[in-house]
Amino acid sequence: MNEWTNTGREPDPLPSSLPGPTAPGLGEPQAEVEETLKRIQSHKGVIGTMVVNAEGIPIRTTLDNSTTVQYAGLLHHLTMKAKSTVRDIDPQNDLTFLRIRSKKHEIMVAPDKEYLLIVIQNPCE
Amino acid sequence: MAPKQKKKTSRGKKRLKPVLAASEDMEPVNMESMGHPEIYPLVLTTKTQEIFNCRIDEDVTDEQPYKLINKEDIFEDLRNRAAVSDFHPVKKIVQEYPGNELLLVYDKDFKYGLNFYLIATEEGKENYLNPPEVPEEQEEYKEHIPEDVYIYKPPVSKPWVSLGSEKEIEEESVTESTKQITYMISRKRSEFGAPIKFSDQNASSVKDAYIECTAYPDKNFTLKQLEKDVGMQVIPQIKDISTQTKWTYPKNATTQYYPREFSEEEKETLKQSKPLVDFLNNASISVEIALQQNEIMNTFIDDWKYLAEEEGTFGDKTDTHLKEYQSFTDLHSPTEKMITCVSWHPTIYGLIAVSVAVRLSFEDRVHFSGKLLLQPSLILFWSFSDPIHPQLMLESPDDIFCFKFCPSDPNIIAGGCINGQIVMWDITAHADRIENIKAGGSRSKRATLKPMFLLEPESNKEAMYIRHCAVSSIENGHKKVITDIHWLSDTFEINRMGSVFENRSGICCQLVTCSADCTICFWDIRPQKPLTPQTTEKKKEESIEIPFDVPSTFLHLDLSWKPLTKVRLSKGETSLDHCPTKISLNEDHLLCKTQDKMLAQSKTEKAEEMNPYHNLESGMANLLKPIDDFCTKFFVGTEEGEVIYTDWKMEKDPETGRLMSKKPVSHHTIHDGTVHTIQRSPFYNDIILTVGGWNVAIWKEGVMTGPLLQSCCAPKRYTSGHWSLTRPGVFYIGREDGYIDIWDLLEKTHEPAQSQNICITMITYIKPWIFSSKQQFIATADYYGTLHILEIPWTLSRPSTNEMASVNHYFEREVKHLEYVEQRKKIREQEKKEMELEMAKKKVKTYQKSKEQMQAELKMDYESYLELEKTVLINLGLIKVTEKGSYMEVM
């Protein structure tokens, strides 16, 4: 890592990194997170939504703890497997979305480098 | 001509004498025409024959038909006899004949025309004498001797022609290249005959004791095989492996783990991190697309499959009527009876129990009470195999109005009496008897050709009267008729307070009854710990003799059975109470399937140990765990037609400190008559059917505003009802004129889908039952004591696809409708209020007019009234127009 040497004045720290008309600073990203999740949850038929980190530890969820932990653990493995499958076939390819449709509902997984967004929806009424 | 003489052939070849022709100018005739130009036929007279010694059959015989004649002799004969000589014609030939002897052959068969012939050439002579060489002569010979055998001619050696084979032979032949050396070894002459001594000697020890020629690979003779003929066969690869495990001792190993989780603070920090925000923004786009796709359309649905209706129907699809299967009547009872309650035996096929009661009003009962005491009140067990004789008869002290089989043991029956007692029966001793009816029934099925009344039961068995084994205490129980009895589920039990605990005994051990004395009682069939001061009194009571054939299962309960709790349904401020007729608990055993499962479970348990009902004390001492979140509310239907939703849990009255039953949660008066059916749907635990009076209502537990469906008044009173066990939207209602109305919620909700006449009188009870996927029966009891068994047709028993979902949908719609109605009510109320306000405002406005104006108005009104009066009177003819009026004014 570069070593900082105190040579004179340091640049002033910026108040907030996000440009926004109303910028309470740290509160906004949290509100955004909440708002996004709420929006997803309010879709028709959605049973549950959860955000899981790269190791499978849930961060945010709308279901109860035991179910969340089970879903997180299982889907994390499955997503890793799917990702490695796609990349084995073509190393320049990558997994963007995973949908598992079962008799009762559909599980949607949006993977990322660090997180996983899992949504469970009941498609047919 | 003159006969020629021949010489014998024993001398070999001899020259014949040439034969001269008699006249030279006459050409001899030869046998050229016959292919033998050297043959000249001759006639030889006897004289000539004598001269030449060729006399026929003397010198010339068959064996030797020829003769060699010298030429000179023939010339001599010719000179002697000149033209007379027989040889005259052939004179020239003889002269020309080269040889010395001519051959004369005797032609016995006159082959050439004459008896002799002469061969004119040497060659011919040779040929004749040596026949094998000449084929022509051989032919002749053959003609002479037809049976000639093949004469072997030895091969004549020819000079060898070399074709080069001698070289090969020379090459192949083995010749000695070198001269062989011969050795002759012999011993010394002196040693001949001397004794010989043999001894052993190791060949390798002595030098030069032997000479060997060791084999060595000679390179001259190493052959390289370039071609090899080998056979191959393909077989699967087989591998034999064996292992030996080391079996020490089995060990239990367990692992317990818990998932990793973030603490709350970590979660908060993560939530605020920028990467999460970005990720969510990106991910939510694709997720929302996917969600919307699903909302638009279900792409995986198989339309073709959903289009099809269920195929493979049994029987006619158009057949929608209930078919009469059998009917049972007790012919032996002296008085007229009616059936009050019907119950199918949970396990045995074809067994149904009916409780009969005397068909008298209360006054008549009191009047005939003496007579009634003598007749036993019965529960009859009917079997399909025997329509005339009931299989079992259970005796009770008085008429039974409701009874139930115990779900965990079908040999225990609890019934509610008209006098307020609960009666218990234990028919375990007779269980095999009724189970074996099945075998008897199958035998009688073969004889179904006979009419029913000719069918005799196999064994002439007397109908067994089985006495009850316990009745409840008269003072402490109900005071009036017990209208409904239920077994509590074996998953929970309650205590005195009404709190719910888990049931560890695994059997149904508690009952709930409701009676016309406005109480609902909970009973426990297990022996209760007796309170000490009462023991002496109880002992006195218990000294009653018990008949020997009654099982002692419930001996502890007999006559001393007290209810666990009593719930009084009070109406609040007034002293009147609700009179419950039927109750419906949360967990009811309507579903036959669960019954079977539970019975199976309990049966396996019982196989191992004693019947738990005979050992009821065992489960008492356990400390029980209370069940939380148990819904202790239940529905009650009353005599006045109300449906009450109340709680059985007792609460302590803050003022008096006594245990008080709670107030009902909701209370509706829907029916115009007694509610005689409250039933939960076998498919939905929170949908309740209530039938009473002239209409039907369907309720949903939790929706307190009103029933989901309330039918309009029917022309006839509804007297019984039951849900269908297989179709979620179908229920059966019995009417007082003997009709069954079949309602189908998916078809029509304002009236029954079907109506069918069963009997002539009021239907008192309906109970459907499933036997198999193809057979479903409905038992209908009527007022005259006959039990009709009808078969439910395919259409009514088989649910259509998605029926449950559709009915669910219907109920949800109705709930929404009710909510909407509520809302509308509120809106309406609001509107009403607004309107009233406006009206009030208007009134206020009018009131603000000045007094003068009002007076003027009043006057005007009065005048217009007078005018009106006048016109009316004129019309009536009481006042004459104009003239009289003015006269009156003048006056």
DSSP B662-725: PPPSEEEE--SS-EEEEEE-SS-TTEEEEEETTEEEEEETT--S--SEEPPPPSS-EEEEEE-S
For chain B, the distance separating the N- and C-terminal CA atoms, rounded to the nearest angstrom, is 226
Question: What residues of chain B lie within 8 A of the CB of A51, using their CB?
Answer: 276, 280
Tell me what the mean pLDDT of segment A42-53 comes to. 90
Q: Which of B274, B279, B294 sits opposite A123 (nearest CB)?
A: B294
**DSSP E strand boundaries for B242-314:** none
Are A97 and B295 inside 8 Å of each other by CB?
no
Q: Which of A36, A45, A55 sits opposite B284 (nearest CB)?
A: A36
Domain A44-119, what architecture?
2-Layer Sandwich (3.30)
Are B261 and A69 inside 8 Å of each other by CB?
yes
Tell me which of A103, A108, A109 to substitute to probe the interface with B (most B C-beta atoms closer than 10 Å): A108
With a cut of 70, which residues of chain B have pLDDT below it?
1-36, 54, 56, 58-62, 131-148, 308-318, 436-463, 528-557, 570-578, 586-629, 652-654, 656-661, 846-849, 880-891
DSSP β-bridge partners for residue A61: A50
Q: Which CATH class is domain B321-433+461-527+549-590+622-800?
A: mainly beta
Are B287 and A119 inside 8 Å of each other by CB?
yes
Instruction: Give pLDDT, residue B40.
Output: 73
Q: Which of A40, A59, A114 sits opposite B288 (nearest CB)?
A: A40
- Type of residue at B586: N
Domain residue spans of chain A: 44-119
The answer to whether A55 contacts chain B (CB < 8 Å) is yes
CA distance to partner chain B, nearest, from residue A8 (Å): 30
Q: How far is CA B450 from the centre of its chain?
A: 35
Instruction: Give pLDDT, residue B476.
Output: 80
Instruction: Give pLDDT, residue A89.
Output: 94
Are B287 and A117 inside 8 Å of each other by CB?
yes
- For B149, half-sphere exposure in the C-beta direction (CA atoms, 13 angstrom radius) is 2
CA distance to partner chain B, nearest, from residue A113 (Å): 9
DSSP β-bridge partners for residue B404: B414
Instruction: Give pLDDT, residue B574.
Output: 56
Are B294 and A73 inside 8 Å of each other by CB?
no
Residue A86 has pLDDT above 90, yes or no: yes
Domain residue spans of chain B: 30-127, 321-433+461-527+549-590+622-800
Task: Give the residue on B whose Cα is nearest the Cα of A99.
Answer: B290
Instruction: Give pLDDT, residue A88.
Output: 93
| pTM recorded for the entire structure | 0.54
Take residue A6 and report the two structure tokens written for it: 């105190």
The answer to whether B265 contacts chain A (CB < 8 Å) is no
Q: Which of B271, B292, B298 sits opposite A33 (nearest CB)?
A: B271
ipTM: 0.72
Q: How confident is the model at residue A13 (pLDDT cuts 50, 70, 90)?
A: very low
Tell me the per-residue pLDDT of B471-530, one tens digit each, with 9 for 90 and over: 888 888 788 888 888 888 777 777 777 777 777 777 777 888 888 888 888 888 777 655
Instruction: Give pLDDT, residue B6.
Output: 46
Q: Phi and psi (nearest 5°) for B421?
A: -95, 155
- For B632, half-sphere exposure in the C-beta direction (CA atoms, 13 angstrom radius) is 24
Give the count of Cβ contacts less than 8 A between chain A and B.
Answer: 100
Instruction: Give pLDDT, residue A15.
Output: 46
Q: % helix / strand / coil in chain B, to the nearest 5?
A: 30, 25, 50
Are A110 and B295 inside 8 Å of each other by CB?
no
Instruction: Give pLDDT, residue B499.
Output: 74
8 A C-beta contact, residue A71 and residue A118? yes
Are B294 and A33 inside 8 Å of each other by CB?
no
Tell me what the mean pLDDT of segment A20-42 comes to. 71
Instruction: Give pLDDT, residue A48.
Output: 92
Are B286 and A59 inside 8 Å of each other by CB?
no
Are A55 and B260 inside 8 Å of each other by CB?
yes
CA distance to partner chain A, nearest, from residue B441 (Å): 46
Helix (H) or strand (E) holding B445: helix B437-446
Task: Give the residue on B whose Cα is nearest the Cα of A117.
Answer: B283
Q: Phi and psi (nearest 5°) for B362?
A: -60, -40
Distance CA B841, CA B533 (A): 75
Distance CA B754, CA B572 (A): 42
Q: Which of A39, A57, A106 sits opposite B262 (nearest CB)?
A: A57
Instruction: Give pLDDT, residue A119.
Output: 93
- Name the one residue in this structure whose structure tokens are 């089970």: A70
Distance CA B487, CA B494 (A): 12
Instruction: Give pLDDT, residue B22.
Output: 42
Are B260 and A58 inside 8 Å of each other by CB?
no
Helix pair angle (A27-41, B264-272), 10° resolution: 100
CA distance to partner chain A, nearest, from residue B826 (Å): 28
The answer to whether A61 contacts chain B (CB < 8 Å) is no
